[in-house]
Structure 1
Amino acid sequence: MKSKKILAMTLALGLVAGTAGAMSRPVTLADQGSFFAGGKVVTAPGVYKDDEPTNFAGETLHGDAAYVFWQAPVKAKKNALVFLHGYGQSGKTWETTPDGRDGFQNIFLAKGYKTFIVDEPRRGRAGNSTVPAELKAQPQDQLWYDNFRIGQWPDYYDNVAVPRDAESRAQFFYQMTPDTGKFDVQVVADAMTAVMEKAGPGVLVTHSAGGGPGWLTAAHSDKVKGIIALEPGTFPFPKGEVPEVEATTSPFPAPGMKVSDEEFQRLLKIPMVVYFGDNIITGSEPDKHWGLDNWRVRLNLARKWEQVMKKHGGDVQVVYLPDIGIKGNTHFLMADLNNQEVADTMEKWLKDKGLSK
């Protein structure tokens, strides 16, 4: 074990020396590794014959598992942080930022947390799907740019906290990655429940479309001790209390997510906080720019969910970051120029809830 620790420390120091801006200070690792969790096995009809390997009869396919890369600093805190990305993304979301600064993976390692970085099923390094998909080389950078509230292409919002050089913009676009099978909330939630069983007790940190399966994971795994959700796309409501879908100019409506009474009761037992960034139009009036209106209706839905959860005794909080003086954030709070400030806010919440020990 001693030699492993020495090697781990050498790797951490190598990051400091070899990558400008990445790993702002050395972190000594006790261990690291990777694994797959969840998934299923399907078998093709027929009988496998080892002298006919390409007819695939009777052969098996392992797919729909999540891929996880984890690191443990020396004297890690009891509760780990498990990071689940959003739509069009992979675990890269949480790693080094497009302009080469520390991402949440490094920031929270330095704070003493064991980190688990997930690629959800049918995405990134977990690309083996049990259902087919047609991958299209679809130009859509500008769609994401507008929807992620960086600006209205090719311009930036005046206050937006992002690097504005061409290379950083290119690095951001390159991290987009396609689904290798249809996105299925239940498939992701099942895999994430298995991830939590392997990771042990921890706080689940979700982003965007990772929010939906994140709620279900917490409802089915007692290993989830809290949730930090960064701009989730939907929210869980009990039967009979799902709000009507609000009209929007966005092509992506924001429906609530109905969960069973048992699932809802489990969610009431853990603390949860939701963070939204800047440049979100508030109120009930639709905005003509769909990229802004898409987040207006989601913030409105979040506040309705907060009221329902609190009515039932839940420990939840929806935070609009400009209200607490953190300004300029895009949809990618973990990579913006003020991501350290966002991380500090998250850690304060962890401490307040007794989850940082």
Structure 2
Amino acid sequence: MAKRTALLRLLSAAAASVMAASALAAGPIVLQGQGSFTVGGSTLRHAGTFSEKNFLSPEGQTAYGDHGYVFYQIPSGARRLPIVFQHGGAQTKRTWESTPDGREGFQNIFLRKRYSVYLVDQPHMGEAGLSTRKDEGGNAWAGNPLFADQTFFRLCRLGDGNGFFKGSQFPGGAAAVDAFQRSWNPYSGPLDNELNAKVLGQLFERIGPAVLMAHSMGGTIAWRTPFYTNKVRAIVALEPGGTPFVFPDTEMPRPVKAVFEPLSATALGVPMEKFLKLTRFPILLVYGDNIAEKPVAAVGPDKWRTELEMARQFAAAVNRHGGDARVIHLPEIGIRGNSHFLMTEKNNVQIAGLIEEWLRSKGLDR
């Protein structure tokens, strides 16, 4: 045990050295501003009268919660449109900050490309952990301890019972795996993606037009955000899942069932006038490798088979109604080995470059 602890410390120190050397080699990032704020939220008043003699009692006091937390950085010579980064389920804005092996994450990569960045902790997560409601057992990821290391490793398609998938882009080593497992965050209240979308809409109303980049369950938040604001100029969705995808309620798609049925991709019907808001700007959906082509008894590859198929149906629906949605399955363009966390892996600069080129092709890089 002592030898293992010493090895992990050595690997962690090595990762920190790599991160520092990488940042220095890339040069400094010059900012013209940074800060943080909360957006949205609600309050709940407790009955009674406050008394200093019993100042820890809830009597007569007000609970604050259900808001989002936003950290932002504005680089010198910033482009016109910032990027809002929305994390996925059981994650926080840490998703975008750095990689498991200590290299620069999308936060710094896009800052270097002169995009202002707004990193969001959705309500009931991370630095937005206050909630006015208790979870009543409906949220599997509420509370500690979180016994889910094998669940996350397999659902995120890092590998299976035999270890990492062959050719994996995930940065290997015990320290990187440890950092990945410590990135998860339990919810402090119920999962409410409609609330999450409303809060994200309020953020866009505050900062103005921007690109929305979402990961995983952040996808279902992203699809609904334009229902609450007209300031979304593009959506980049990295492995959107944690469904549902949205469709016109008169055009619901055929079901895509997983072998373990609770993991099946799902769809949510919305009125046509709402759905058409998704046709007013371009949408890019990006999926990684090791996604099954047919049903298999492996929860990760099979779950994401259903999500990718539903994503293709979603894009087809958007395009059928005059929109501009594109699905990129990375192995089909020769990029292999990426897991569910493609923005944190060894080729994350390449993935960011692909996104940058797409933004440029849509005239959104000015």
Correspondence for 2:67? 65
Between the aligned partners of 2:17 and 2:364, the Cα distance in structure 1 is 29
Between the aligned partners of 1:242 and 1:177, the Cα distance in structure 2 is 33
Between the aligned partners of 1:73 and 1:321, the Cα distance in structure 2 is 30
Correspondence for 2:269? 258
Structure 1 SS opposite 2:344 = coil
Correspondence for 1:219? 227
Q: Does the Cα contact within 8 Å between 1:85 and 1:118 map onto a contact in 2?
A: yes
Q: Is the aligned partner of 1:151 residue 2:159?
A: yes
1:1-357 alignment, distance < 5 Å: 19-22=20-23, 24-133=26-135, 135-233=143-241, 234=243, 235-250=245-260, 251-282=262-293, 285-357=294-366
Show CA shifts across 1:292-349 (max 9, x none).
1000000010111111111111111111011122211100011011110000000011
User: How many residues were matched structurally?
Assistant: 341
* One-letter amino acid matched to 2:145: A
Q: Does the Cα contact within 8 Å between 1:16 and 1:25 map onto a contact in 2?
A: no
Q: CA RMSD in A?
A: 1.8
- Unaligned residue ranges in structure 1 (runs of 5+): 1-14
Between the aligned partners of 2:148 and 2:246, the Cα distance in structure 1 is 30
Between the aligned partners of 1:69 and 1:20, the Cα distance in structure 2 is 25
* One-letter amino acid matched to 2:130: N
Structure 2 SS opposite 1:127 = coil
Correspondence for 2:12? none
Show CA shifts across 1:26-77 (max 9, x none).
2110010000001111111233345542332221111011111100000100
Between the aligned partners of 2:330 and 2:207, the Cα distance in structure 1 is 30
Q: How far off is 1:18 after superposition?
A: 8.3
Q: How far off is 1:17 after superposition?
A: 11
Structure 1 SS opposite 2:263 = coil
Q: Does the Cα contact within 8 Å between 1:21 and 1:100 map onto a contact in 2?
A: no
Structure 2 SS opposite 1:272 = strand
Structure 2 SS opposite 1:21 = helix
Between the aligned partners of 2:20 and 2:320, the Cα distance in structure 1 is 49
Between the aligned partners of 1:108 and 1:16, the Cα distance in structure 2 is 22
Q: Does the Cα contact within 8 Å between 1:132 and 1:181 map onto a contact in 2?
A: yes
Structure 1 SS opposite 2:212 = strand
Show CA shifts across 1:149-208 (max 9, x none).
110035111111011111011011111110111111111111111111222211000000
Between the aligned partners of 2:340 and 2:227, the Cα distance in structure 1 is 25
Between the aligned partners of 1:287 and 1:78, the Cα distance in structure 2 is 45
